[in-house]
Structure 1
Amino acid sequence: MTEQLHLAIALERAGWHPAAWREETARPHDLTSPRYWRDLLRIADDAGVALATIEDALALTDRFEQVDGLRRDRVRGRLDAVLVASFAAPQTRRIGLVPTVTTAHPEPFHVATGIQTLDFASRGRAGVRLVAGASAAERANFGRRASGVDSFPASGRVEDSPEIVAAFREAGEFADVLSRLWDSWQDDAIIRDAATGRFLDADLIHNIEFDGEFFSITGASIVPRSPQGRPLLTVLAHQTVPYRLAAEHADLVFVTPRDDLAGFAPSEILAELEAASADVRVAREPLRAFADLLVLIEETASAARLAADRLDDRAGADLTSDARIVVGTAADVVDVVRELAAAGFDGVRLRPARQPADVIAIAEQVAPLLRAAGALREDDGAGTLRQRLGLVRPESRYVREKEFAL
């Protein structure tokens, strides 16, 4: 039997190659146009892609990039990912919308209400991808923190940086607060009985009373419980500390399997996620794992290699990535995706090197080939994003707490 998985896509400005904006097929003048993002999301939506993540950041520079001597040949500036997703929500039909949010500076209350609003706007297709950390450039934009994550440790190990470990603890609290705020209204809190003058049952709205290392929050969300109950919570993880964050708090984790790096083989990553889940996960649902691939797709392998070389020349360096890079035909991408399906991943998230060119190739070539091979999970677009990923709609924790108190 052919192993099946979900297909996701990761949208990043002009694409994941830093020189992608210089391609003839690129739309650099439209990067701050809502219709640019609507067009990309509709292309993926019509192709049956399960969800799209939308990249975001809180600084003009890339993470750990020096502010002084800022390179002028890179795309700078971006639109707010949550607002982009909210704009696209009523203009798409089925695709999950998962904007990126950095946990170091925004308040969880604001993020919780924004994502709940997106869940209503999309009729149950919202999620969020949480990113830990507070770089120097990000801190300078907010002016509230004297220290944070200024560099990656020389060892390459997250646990060797107290600042990064603290950032992940903060991200864990942030995720916890989000889920509590999303639970703070029970499903039947709103009555809307005009005859009796009762709009809501105040006993079914709960202050979350959270007091942690980084956040202290007393109140409830201002947004009623949204269609999914809790929108999809996702993270990208590469090592033990973020794997444990995902296992404890996330519904879905994006990972970067690579056979050329020790510790990053698919079996090693899945084994570590399973061990972390056994240790810290309390959710009934198993953690879903999606493997990331950065893809550049042309009709022939030689044409793809020429396109990649042209972009590398313009960038002044070969493309590098935390994820495996596949430069070739749609069939080449499908072969790798099927390998990952056989390894046990629940899905694959494709990062298009060039937008819109590789988004179109994913929609018009990769997705049909996967479907023809029986490698895509059946998805008629019905129901919420959680339902389509095989996740139950969680009951508010405050219903359970009340039952336990009786």
Structure 2
Amino acid sequence: MLYRLLSTLLLSIFLLAVPMAASAAGITNYPQLLTADYWTAKNPTGDKLILTSDGVTAFNTKVRNASRSVPSLLIYPGTVSGDALKTRIMNYQVLEDDLYLHGNKVSEHYKDILRKQTNVSAIPNRVNVRYAVTVRRTPVRNLPTGEGLYYYAGERNFDVLQETSLDPGESVIVLHESANKYFYYVQSVNYSGWVSKFNLGFTDRKTWLQYADPKEFLVVTGANVSLKTGAEQVVYQQGSRMLLDSEQAATYTVEAPTRATNGNLRKEKLLVPKTAQVHKGYLPYTANNIVRSALEFINMPYGWGGQKNSVDCSSLVFNAYRTVGVVLPRDADEQENTAGTKTLLQGLGDSAKTATIKELTPGACLYMDGHVVMYLGDINGVPYAIHSLGSCFVNGQRHVVMKVVVSDLSLQRLNGETFLAELNSAMEFK
């Protein structure tokens, strides 16, 4: 009897402690609030299917129709307009600003070298596309260089040329080659830019389609899964797919892409233990699965454009949703304006915004200028979200965070307004 009484008392104290601890404004470090179990337990309908697999396919078609950055690679034309490609590549706007390389201001001569490396004069009237597969985690660059450029001499986290990162096994359309022949301009599932030639394996369209539209595959559900391919450890980030060859009692055999010395694609069969954070096929599209996926990144470093083998705010969202097969645009502003159920928040007072947010399905995304957070649920009427956060402000002073956090929406921006006040819209992707 005493044991039961003590257990009940401890449980009551624990349940009371969570809201009290969470009521402190800003980023929470309360351990329980950093777990998926806490948030999924608060959502009794969280395991209800939002879309069937056919519904996901139909929704992805709506995304492609709404967002030019998300073309259908499966029906990508075999030739493209050279003039249109030149227009895409000659986006040199970033070079109009003062930039720094290794702490030194970049000269106009260096900028001209970067422009010339884009090799646009070699683009013909009609470009024949080629097919390749990424063989390792691959930075996608705004210009054909691997060197980082920054707005400040001492900055090292926000490389202005870093656009995004592709995972191993991603099919890309190769459109152009740099002047020094070390970079290719490619179109991926939701981004175009320059990638190192050493990260690609060229192949025929039939083999390429096995990776672009696999019939059987594993999807990574953890933040990262690492496989030893040849002599290197290759990182697959959440939502990436591994081409499934066969299944054994305790392992899967996958066909990992590697690059032969001649630049062509070569498959290597590797064993993946079933204890790894992978799932055969996509996860069912439920709110709880989206929340679980996002929380796999908790406390991981902020990774601008996918650097540090981590995520920034919009790739956290992109990764979580691709575990269920939903393919979103890469950038936050395009996610905000793609297909889905959009709820306008701009112009509402804080109380009205809070009431509106509490009616959203956990996993919904909240957008403000330059940032996105994922709604997890509320505690005592206070909405909480997970997001990859670079910094926030307290009384005008910048606080560097640089990691994935759970917080309420009382965090401040540079202008002194709270995240809640700055929200423009909410998106439910269904």
TM-score, normalising length: structure 2: 0.28
From the two aligned structures, give the one with the greater helix fraction. 1
From the two aligned structures, give the one with the greater strand fraction. 2
Higher relative contact order (CA 8 A, sep 6+): 1
TM-score, normalising length: structure 1: 0.29
